[in-house]
Amino acid sequence: MDERFADVGDGITLCYETFGDPSDPTVLLVMGLGTQMVAWHEDFCRELAGRGHHVVRFDNRDIGRSTHLDHLPPPTIGQLLRRNTRRAAYRLTEMARDAAGLLDHLGVESAHVVGASMGGMIAQSLAAAAPERVLSLTSIMSSTGNRWSGQPALRLYPIFLRRPGRDREEFVEHSVRLFRLIGSPGFDRSDEDLREMAALSYERGHDPAGSARQLGAIIASGDRTAELRAIDAPTLVIHGDADRLVAPSGGRATAKAIPGARLLTIEGMGHDLPRGAWPRILDAFEEHARAAEAAGGEREAA
């Protein structure tokens, strides 16, 4: 991995990696809750770059090799369950500013912004707060924050309340059990790939407290439906019909809230990015991005 680091302001340093030609249009990939940039599989990033994009993936604050805010106490499980926001260290808007700061560091004025799960929420927040930075928005397996849509299946709660493991081996096996529950039943899954990614994540920076602070940011940000209605970036919403963690209603609510958004539902896809779904995701994104670039060129010419 060719990891680099960017100071993005407010004492935050982000670890990032790039693929492809910097002169091509930039695609900023934003990952989800407690998940490092390596979950954007290197093969996925290289294929996207091979389609004529400059691809950037990064660790959000409090995960991987980016800044961990260890001086701020994480919310307790009880506070998270009660949706108590008093211990929230930050909100999604601040995580969106981190992403904008990374674009500044790279000298990129605007990018195609693609977010998965919490990363979709961060991407949405960036598109709402700084529309000039977002050529197009792609929100994958995400939601609006409304408590009546996109909620997880009740049977998932026990595994999230369980400790993710005290050592590397326990953490890896916990990750495999988790993705057996929330992954894509309609696509082949490689437990070996899961173990490799989990082991790499553990080695790069396993931090349950950081994940709790990220979850606190989601809860503290509340229902963002009104914010999403202000987004004017061309928007593609992708959601699996078998997502048990963020129910498909979350994708529908997102597409309904953002003016002109298009919803792509992938049959058999859960809350992951299975290799078998990559062709549909990449083809849909490429069509979406090219249309946004063409529309932007027409606006400039006018």
pLDDT at residue 235 is higher than 70: yes
Residue 115 domain-assigned (yes or no): yes
Which residues does 17 contact at the CB level (< 8 Å), separation at least 6? 1, 2, 3, 4, 37, 45, 56, 57, 58
The predicted pLDDT at position 13 comes to 98
Which residues does 71 contact at the CB level (< 8 Å), separation at least 6? none
Q: Which two tokens stand for residue 228?
A: 């999403």
Q: Which of 27-36, 190-199, 264-273 has the lowest mean pLDDT?
A: 190-199
Which residues does 302 contact at the CB level (< 8 Å), separation at least 6? none
Residue 189 domain-assigned (yes or no): no
pLDDT digits (tens, 9 = 90+) for 243-292: 999 999 999 999 999 999 999 999 999 999 999 999 999 999 999 999 99
pLDDT digits (tens, 9 = 90+) for 99-123: 999 999 999 999 999 999 999 999 9
Q: Which two tokens stand for residue 181?
A: 């529950």
Helix (H) or strand (E) holding 196: helix 191-205
Q: 124 falls in which pLDDT band (50, 70, 90)?
A: very high
Helix (H) or strand (E) holding 49: helix 42-50
Residue 297 domain-assigned (yes or no): yes
| Residue 44, domain extent | 4-151+207-301
Q: Are 68 and 207 in contact (CB under 8 A)?
A: yes
Q: What is the mean pLDDT of residues 66-86?
A: 80
Question: Which residues is 14 bridged to in the sheet?
Answer: 6
- Cα 247 to Cα 86, 270, 273: the distances in Å are 27, 9, 15
The predicted pLDDT at position 177 comes to 86
Query: What's phi and psi for 150, nearest 5 deg?
Result: 70, 20
Residue 211 domain-assigned (yes or no): yes
Residue 168 domain-assigned (yes or no): no
Residue 104 domain-assigned (yes or no): yes
Domain count, the chain: 1
* Residue 137, domain CATH: 3.40.50.1820
Residue 273 domain-assigned (yes or no): yes
Which residues does 43 contact at the CB level (< 8 Å), separation at least 6? 275
Residue 169 domain-assigned (yes or no): no
The predicted pLDDT at position 302 comes to 46
**Which amino acid makes up residue 64?**
G
User: Over the chain, what is the mean pLDDT?
Assistant: 91
